[in-house]
Structure 1
Amino acid sequence: MSTPNKERKIAIVGSRTVGKSSLAVQFVDHHFVDHYYPTIENEFNKSVQYNGRGQDEFSIISNKLLIGIHGYILIYSITNRQSFEMIRLIRDKILDTLEIDRPMIIVGNKSDLNLQRQVSYEELKELGKEFGGVPVMECSAKSNYNVDTVFESIVKEIEKFEGGGEEEKREEGGCAIS
């Protein structure tokens, strides 16, 4: 007997041109969009397995805080210091808006542009510590580096937050993220 899928909503939030939509499109459709078109809100869906259990459906809502979000991907560009500095303001706004904490991870996008780097990985790690041990990582939506890991990490954080961490083994089931 399988357990029902859980629906999850993940918000990708960050400054303009950091790659929010590119990250989502790369994850869902496995391609990179070269042209920049400002996005107000997009929704993407993808079914995946988490820990070999069930079908997980991702729906990534970018650039807008919505009621019912289960986890947040705070994203900046490693080539844009200002976008990194905005992460604190974005996090503060989320915490001020919510009545309870929600899982978050911090992601430095555009790691393929390492020669144009303005934010070191050490600074990213320090910010994660400052936020109480929030997981951090770098990725590249363009080269598809660590893209799946970003989404696996936020699901892991959501599961831990809700008491369904890796310690708790389930025979079947999964979660649907939308």
Structure 2
Amino acid sequence: MPPKERKIAFMGFRSVGKSSLIIQYVENQFVDSYDPTIENTFAKHTRVGGQEYDLHVVDTAGQDEYSVIPQSYFININGYVLVYSVNSHKSFEVVKHVYDKIIDMKGRMTVPIVLVGNKKDLRFERVISEEEGRRVAESWKVPFLEASAKENSSVKEIFDTILNTMKQKENGETTEKSSCLLS
């Protein structure tokens, strides 16, 4: 079976760790320096559940609540990873705006989305509880993960989860039916 090509966009407020999560996954290294991303695409070959994938991961420039999201972020994108930082209320609010814009453009039923709270290693700076993140994800009916690019915690799971979510949507499954697999 040939590998499936899939394009995933990482979106969220600036400096939430989108690039760090992607580079940790693709290159197995943690990049600590913050250099605002313009837009970058990373490629990785991976296997999830017996299926091989050629992934193209779009590392987007950070959005805010006023961002006009380029049309290219809606065309040929198979799934979205929406990232906020557990130590930033602002990033949590921005991710909700980004979600609303994606749903406006693509429609709720069709879009595979995973919500990620990054920087869970910053235990003492946390302002968004895991419960708050989980509640938002449940209201959107999307999988939720907390991760740390720095500790390489749950990084691979983010990609496995978005790929599995895409596969379910492609097979016409609803998240309600399969939610036990995602939690």
TM-score tier (shorter)? 0.7 to 0.9
- DSSP-derived class of the 1:111 partner: coil
Q: 2-side partners of 1:26 and 1:5: how far apart? A: 22
Q: 2-side partners of 1:31 and 1:58: how far apart? A: 18
Q: TM-score, normalised by structure 2?
A: 0.83
Match of 1:62 in 2: 59
Q: Does structure 1 residue 89 correspond to structure 2 residue 87?
A: no
Percent identity among equivalent residues?
A: 41
Deviations along 1:109-167, whole A, 9 cap, x unmatched? 00110111010001011101111x211010001110000000000000000000087xx
Aligned AA (1:58): L
Q: Hey, which bits of structure 1, 4+ residues long, moved more than 3 A?
A: none
Which structure ranks higher in relative contact order (CA pairs < 8 Å, sequence separation ≥ 6)? 1
Match of 2:127 in 1: 118
The answer on whether the counterparts of 2:78 and 2:166 sit within 8 Å (CA) in structure 1 is: yes
Q: Structure 2 matches for 1:4-153, cutoff 5 A?
A: 4-53=2-51, 55-63=52-60, 65-98=73-106, 101-131=110-140, 133-153=141-161
Q: Aligned pair count?
A: 161
Deviations along 1:49-92, whole A, 9 cap, x unmatched? 11133x32221102261411010000000010110111110011
Structure 2 spans left out of the alignment, 5+ residues: 61-69, 174-183
Aligned AA (1:78): V
Match of 2:168 in 1: 160
Q: 1-side partners of 2:103 and 2:59: how far apart? A: 17
Match of 1:170 in 2: none
Q: 1-side partners of 2:98 and 2:32: how far apart? A: 26
- DSSP-derived class of the 2:53 partner: strand
Aligned AA (1:60): V
Aligned AA (2:142): V
Match of 1:171 in 2: none
Match of 1:172 in 2: none
